[in-house]
Amino acid sequence: MQQELLQTLVSDIALLHGLGIRLVVVLGAAPQIDAALEELGSSSMFVGGYRVTDAAALEAAVQAAGRSRTAVEQFLSRGPSVPVFRRHAKGETEMHFGPALNVVSGNYVAAKRRGIINGVDFGYSGEVRFVAVDAIRRQLDNENIVLLSNLGFTAGGEVLNCNTYDVGLHASIELNADKLICLHLSDVTEMRLPAWLPLSRARDMLLQRLMGHVSTASIDVDEADKLRRQLLQDAQPPPANGNSSSSSSSSSSTSSSSSSSSNGSSSGSGSRDCLLNLDLWTDTGFPTAVAVAVVACVKGVKRAHLIDARMDGGMLLELYSRDGVGTMISTDFYEGIRKARTTDMEAIQALLDPLERTGVLVKRSTEELRLQLPNFTVIERETKVMGCALLLPLGVSPDGQRVAEIGAFCVDVVFRGTGRGDSLLDYVEQDARLKGMDRLVLLTTRTADWFMQRDFRLAGPAWCSELLPAARRERVNPARNSQLYVKELAPLNDKNRQKPGTRIGF
């Protein structure tokens, strides 16, 4: 079963790589370590978030890492059918084919011994100090898939058994990753998390659980207060290598899997960031995958996705379907998006005026804008309106579809390219769905490209289109030659019946 599951996941990895996504894959090993220990007639235990690793457990961890890496390399090495190439090749020259995808692994993870904590000797268990950022990036630039495992290496050349989540958390933060994808089993599924959790709400969940355990004295009050303050800090850009060492010292200590395993990494930065201490989150009883996803976003990772590992094609469905299939934790894409108020009139006029003067938008009088104001949505930051959009219900079209028009869509030029336009459009689309609309339409002469990239399709001149209700067609000026762009909305059902601002991707 594990082999079949791994093969399915690796197939998703191969497809994502083919789509141009640069991937660092962290291989979990706990079940394989347990199986290897059983073969050796031994066992080990977990204390907090870490395994107590004696010599036998370390041997099992090394075996498990090797088996997992080999299995992934095997699945990713399957090349195309040779007869297909021969059928289209010229000449009789013998052809040789390398692996379909290049996979690299090595001593990219610098670690140190956990030592003795509260009287427990963790033996060969390690804590991640940093990952070799520059060396990993060079491999990614060469279009290789980088594999990291549960093994870390000390400055003295020791091999240590690290927690896989610890490795993944450090890698995502120090590489300043766009996404962290955590594959989970039933422990997260049973939480019934929503499709989208803004980071603020996800942090509140962790804090609530944290403070609840303080009251039961299972977590030290001072430690809990330090965690609370760190969680509430705004995300900061990560240091170059996660410690005070220079970039060159980290990268120069790393070799690929084909070279020796000696490690000359520089010394760590001293005290360990308490947010990265998995023991503390394990003590709260919170699933580690969720805690790691939240901490990664706090530390600057843009999005974290929680996906059930047992779902066939789960990663592709989460990243490339409208509704997704997992839970996404992210910075608050919808923070500051709200319905317009009377006090927003002047700010909206200031946004629209330059576009109206250049003919991109149709001129609206102050009275028209006042009447349409209840149908406006705005996005603001620190009381400044940065963008606006009008969602105007039009009625039923001749083909029986309930139609709404998007108009006056504008983002302040200072904030363009920051994703706020996508967030605003997505919010308005969800609002339209919740109001029972079947079709969104847009009349434009100049801004078609941006909307076409977001699934609107050209439907010809607006003044004669049967996709518009008759009353709206009558108000179209044929001389302006506005083109109609249409987006059919997915039918509303129990799965996607969400309020605006609950999930990016509709």
Is the separation of the CB atoms in 405 and 459 below 8 Å? no
Q: Is 288 inside any structural domain?
A: yes
Is the separation of the CB atoms in 28 and 51 below 8 Å? no
Q: Domain with 56 in it: what CATH number?
A: 3.40.1160.10
More confident residue, 98 or 310: 310
> Which of 62, 52, 58 shows the shortest CA–CA distance to 122?
52
Tens of pLDDT, residues 271-288 = 557 778 887 777 777 889
Mean of the pLDDT values across residues 432-457? 89
pLDDT at 411 over 80: yes
pLDDT at 265 over 60: no
DSSP reduced 3-state for 504: coil
The structure tokens 């609950």 sit at 502
Asked if 314 and 165 sit in the same domain, the reply is yes
Give the count of beta carbons closer than 10 Å to the beta carbon of residue 457.
11
pTM over 0.75: no
Asked if 398 and 325 sit in the same domain, the reply is no
Asked if 477 and 375 sit in the same domain, the reply is yes
pLDDT at 439 over 90: yes
Tens of pLDDT, residues 290-304 = 999 999 998 889 889
Lowest mean pLDDT among 31-35, 100-104, 177-181, 231-235: 231-235
DSSP label at 263? -
Across the chain, mean pLDDT equals 81
pLDDT at 238 over 70: no
Tens of pLDDT, residues 57-102 = 999 999 889 988 998 888 888 765 555 445 555 555 555 555 668 8
Asked if 441 and 311 sit in the same domain, the reply is no
Q: Is 463 inside any structural domain?
A: yes
Range of the domain at 384: 335-488
Q: What's the pLDDT at 422?
A: 87
pLDDT at 182 over 80: yes
Q: How confident is the model at residue 360 (pLDDT cuts 50, 70, 90)?
A: confident
Q: How many structural domains is the chain composed of?
A: 2
pLDDT at 212 over 80: no
Q: Give dist(CA 44, CA 33) in Å, integer.
A: 9
Asked if 133 and 175 sit in the same domain, the reply is yes
From 330, 353, 373, give the residue that closes a domain: 330
Q: How confident is the model at residue 250 (pLDDT cuts 50, 70, 90)?
A: very low
More confident residue, 448 or 256: 448
Q: What's the pLDDT at 129?
A: 94
Mean of the pLDDT values across residues 26-41? 82
| Packing angle of the helix pair 30-39, 55-76 (nearest 10 deg) | 120
pLDDT at 267 over 70: no
Mean of the pLDDT values across residues 23-45? 83
Q: Is 266 inside any structural domain?
A: no
More confident residue, 146 or 233: 146
The phi, psi pair for 379, rounded to 5°, reads: -120, 125
Q: Is 89 inside any structural domain?
A: no
Share of the chain above pLDDT 90, in %: 39
pLDDT at 387 over 50: yes
Q: Give dist(CA 6, CA 189) in Å, integer.
A: 19
Q: Give dist(CA 175, CA 131) in Å, integer.
A: 9
Q: Is 386 inside any structural domain?
A: yes
pLDDT at 227 over 90: no
Asked if 345 and 215 sit in the same domain, the reply is no
Q: What's the pLDDT at 504?
A: 56
For 93-158, list the strands marked E by DSSP.
103-105, 109-113, 116-117, 120-121, 125-131, 145-148, 151-153
More confident residue, 260 or 445: 445
Asked if 126 and 46 sit in the same domain, the reply is yes
pLDDT at 379 over 80: yes
Q: Is 361 inside any structural domain?
A: yes
Q: What's the pLDDT at 292?
A: 93
Q: Give dist(CA 352, CA 350) in Å, integer.
A: 6
Q: How confident is the model at residue 9 (pLDDT cuts 50, 70, 90)?
A: confident
pLDDT at 369 over 90: yes
Q: How confident is the model at residue 157 (pLDDT cuts 50, 70, 90)?
A: very high
Q: What's the pLDDT at 44?
A: 85
From 282, 309, 330, give the residue that closes a domain: 330
Asked if 170 and 308 sit in the same domain, the reply is yes
Q: Is 265 inside any structural domain?
A: no
Measured at the CA of 179, the angle between CA 30 and CA 431, to 5 degrees, comes to: 125
Asked if 112 and 14 sit in the same domain, the reply is yes
Mean of the pLDDT values across residues 160-189? 92
Asked if 295 and 428 sit in the same domain, the reply is no
pLDDT at 54 over 70: yes
Asked if 311 and 448 sit in the same domain, the reply is no
| Packing angle of the helix pair 2-18, 55-76 (nearest 10 deg) | 50
Distances (CA, A) of 228 to 221, 281, 301, 430: 10, 12, 19, 33
Specify which of 17-21, 59-63, 89-93, 374-378 reaches the highest per-range mean pLDDT.
Answer: 374-378
From 299, 330, 361, give the residue that closes a domain: 330
Mean of the pLDDT values across residues 246-271? 37
Q: Give dist(CA 316, CA 330) in Å, integer.
A: 18
Q: Domain with 411 in it: what CATH number?
A: 3.40.630.30
Q: Give dist(CA 33, CA 232) in Å, integer.
A: 36
Q: Give dist(CA 372, CA 389) in Å, integer.
A: 11
Asked if 347 and 285 sit in the same domain, the reply is no
Q: Is 261 inside any structural domain?
A: no
> Which of 375, 486, 504, 320 shows the shortest CA–CA distance to 430?
504
Parallel, antiparallel or unpaired: strands 439-444 and 483-488: antiparallel
